[in-house]
Amino acid sequence: MKKNKFAFGKRNYKFMIIGILFIALGFILMSGGGSDDPNIFNEEIYSFRRIRIAPLIVIIGFAIEIYAILTKPE
């Protein structure tokens, strides 16, 4: 009887979950900063957190996902 083999191992799935958490955290950090009134402009939308840190965290998350996919399963 042939044993079913999965495409990814336990280590791959751990890295995939970590990558998804990084991506989600990055998008959470990007949220907010808007204004309820369309006639009022809020400068908070251009904060350092939303422009620099959050996209960097999302890119790190995607890099972790690529690593998780390309790593050989155990």
Contacts of 69 (CB under 8 A, 6+ apart): 8, 12, 16
Position 20 in a domain: yes
Say how many domains are in the chain: 1
Q: Each residue of 11-45: pLDDT tens digit?
A: 999 999 999 999 999 999 999 877 778 888 888 88
Position 6 in a domain: no
pLDDT tier at 1, thresholds 50, 70, 90? low
pLDDT tier at 10, thresholds 50, 70, 90? very high
Q: Each residue of 51-64: pLDDT tens digit?
A: 999 999 999 999 99
For residue 62, the enclosing domain spans 12-70
Question: What does each C-alpha distance from 28 to 35, 52, 73 come to in angstroms?
Answer: 17, 14, 31
